[in-house]
Amino acid sequence: MKDPEATLGELVRDALTSELGSEYAQADPLIRPSDFADYQSNAAMGLSKRVGRPPRDIAGPVADRLSEAAAVASAEVSGPGFINITLSDDWIAGQASTQLEDPRFGVPLPRTQRIVVDYSAPNVAREMHVGHLRTTVVGDAVVRVLEYLGHDVVRANHIGDWGTQFGMLLEHLLDVGEDSANEQLAAGEINAFYQAANAKFKADPSFAERSRLRVVALQAGDRETLRLWTTLISDTEKYYNSIYARLGVTLTDADLAPESFYNPMLAGVCDELEAKGVAVISDGALCAFPPGFAGRDGAPLPLILRKSDGGYGYATTDMAAIRYRTRDLRANRIIYVVGAEQAQHFEMVFAVARQAGWLTGEVSAEHATIGLVTGADRKRFRSRSGSSVKLADLISEAVERAEEVIKDRYDDPEQRRQIAEEVGIGALKYADLSVARDSGYVLDFDRMLALTGNTGPYLQYAAARIRSIFARAELDPAQVSSGPILLGTAAERALALQLLGFGRAVTDVALTAEPHKLSVYLFETASAFTTFYEQCPVLNAPGETRQSRLALAALTLRVLVTGLGLLGISVPPRM
Ligand code: ARG
């Protein structure tokens, strides 16, 4: 089945071709939502110059042709040459019935691509911060959507597990003893561990010296040092995994593609870039100077690949990663879900990869930028005590507050705790996913937990309410799979039309890596359902109308549950 915008797009294009000739078969039909009809086409305005006729002269005959289509109830020219289009009720009802029978609820399957999604990517021995929460939650939603569309997705958790700071961390691990370090790290006392190491490093020259030697041993592949480093990493990974599990994030150990994974490739990458003339020695360091990047003084900006002391850095690893992903993983598309502050880094990495011929017309790379999460003071989010927040505590706080919000509804404490878990985590994730990912937002527990407005709990509640309608009717909504859907009132029509947009909303998220587009759609769907439910009795409606309204409710439930599922948000059995 085709969604309304795609259907109208085709009809407008056909009409343009018939009116103006086959050279207009690819013209953009410019279908937009309209305040005066269901949709409008602005195509005539766009084509007027090219055709050499005033827009209204094009719009008139196109509108006449559109009016004849079965899907269209009316098409009228308005203003300077807009075409206002109203869909026919029969067409909407028919499509909604088809959607009800469709196991994919109207979401099409595009041509499959291999897509690498680089997300989450916390740093070993550093606490995951709210910023990582966001890259994790957004990345995971993107991944779920892409997989739902049938793409072959490779999750890449590019964790920071390498660098000079590991010298001091390993020495500190030896000082406190492996067992107690293991315990501390797996419990998420990561900041404390790091800060203790750092304090000693600053205060104690002999510790600093040991740390430096330890880095050398690590880089040289000393066995005992590597063993210690591995425990350090697996301890922190235990902590990440506990967070992922609690958040319902799909990342597993199999998705770890840490910085150290690329170590064996770094020298080869540098050689290849140098041989290709993409990188040159400058002041003893190997640098690429991608065109178009200049520093404040106007001098070309280097991407440093190998420092003058022979060391490699973050950029080198990213060059190795992009070569690996394009050449070895054969990705068609790479999505980096990373903080906006790294925008220039990625622009430069992509530019150099294009120069090297790794990124081509067939392979794209994009930085899905993530904006800052702030506290009420609009500064980087901090805990109540002012220190940077432990992600695990943040999650717990969301759940505790959710329990306060729902506490009067449940007597059974076990059930209450379970639902609070789903509501609290759903609220936290939805707050993140309902804002355009590249803009910042204020983390506000009261707002995210509100039962009205564009919040996770509101959407969960909308779904739970539909379930309770079916429970009262002693029906299983999953068994409702045939209409006919009748559109007797404006509210039913609006809801049905809204439901037909699901496929487009999901497809848009995949194209743009912007999950908030699905959130907006789901919120609008829940709102359309609320209006419908206020105006249209369901269980007390007579015969066919009751059947049709139950069908609309069942379809709404599927769309909400599937859509929230694609955002990584579960719906409690009841609320
Ligand atoms: N670990 C990095 C950080 O915390 C993010 C890594 C993002 N991915 C990448 N390929 N550079 O900022």
DSSP 445-500: HHHHT-SSSSSHHHHHHHHHHHHHHHHHTT--GGG---------SHHHHHHHHHHT
- 433 and 526 inside one domain: no
Average pLDDT per block of 10 residues along the chain, 575 residues long: 92 95 93 95 93 94 96 96 97 95 92 97 82 93 98 97 93 95 86 91 96 93 95 90 96 96 97 98 97 92 95 96 97 97 97 97 95 81 62 91 91 93 97 95 93 96 96 94 90 98 97 98 98 97 95 97 98 87
Residue 381 lies in a domain: no
Cα 138 to ligand 1 centroid, rounded to whole Å: 14
Choose the final residue of a domain: 61, 87, 113.
Answer: 87
The answer to whether position 236 is within a domain reads: no
505 and 428 in one domain?
no
pLDDT at residue number 117: 98
What residue numbers bound the domain in which 468 lies?
456-566
Asked whether 135 lines ligand 1 (CB < 6 A), one says no
Which atom of ligand 1 has the smallest separation from the CA of 339? 12
What pLDDT, on a 0 to 100 scale, did the predictor assign at position 386?
55
| The pLDDT value given to residue 459 | 98
User: CATH no. for residue 14?
Assistant: 3.30.1360.70
CATH code, domain carrying 538: 1.10.730.10
31 in any annotated domain: yes
Among the listed residues 197, 194, 172, 193, the one whose alpha carbon sits nearest the alpha carbon of residue 184: 193
- Please report whether residue 465 resides in a domain: yes
Using the mean position of ligand 1's atoms as its centre, give its distance from the Cα of residue 451 in Å: 35
Cβ–Cβ < 8 Å for 257, 158: yes
Residue identifier of the C-alpha nearest atom 4 of ligand 1: 122
How many domains in the chain? 3
- 138 in a structural domain: no
Among the candidates 87, 102, 137, a domain finishes at: 87
The answer as to whether 417 is a domain residue is yes
Q: What is the pLDDT of residue 131?
A: 77
| CA distance linking residue 290 with residue 219, whole number of Å | 29
Separation of alpha carbons 287 and 375, rounded Å: 39
What is the full DSSP assignment across 14-69?
HHHHHHH-GGGTT----EEE-SSSSEEE-HHHHHHHHHTS-HHHHHHHHHHHHHHS
- Judgement on whether residues 420 and 463 belong to the same structural domain of the protein: no
DSSP, collapsed to helix, strand or coil, labels residue 164 as coil
pLDDT given at position 382 = 65
Say if residue 477 is in the same domain as residue 561: yes
Which pLDDT does position 384 carry in this prediction? 53
| Radius of gyration, CA atoms only, the chain | 28
Identify the pLDDT of residue 532: 98
Asked if 422 and 505 sit in the same domain, the reply is no
| Nearest CA, atom 8, ligand 1 | 158
> In terms of domains, do 440 and 487 share one?
no
- Residues 410 and 464 occupy one common structural domain: no
Q: Is the CB of 156 under 6 A from ligand 1?
A: no
List C-alpha distances in Å: 385 to 193, 202, 399, 401, 496: 19, 25, 19, 18, 49
Residue 292 lies inside a defined structural domain of this protein: no
337 lies in some domain: no
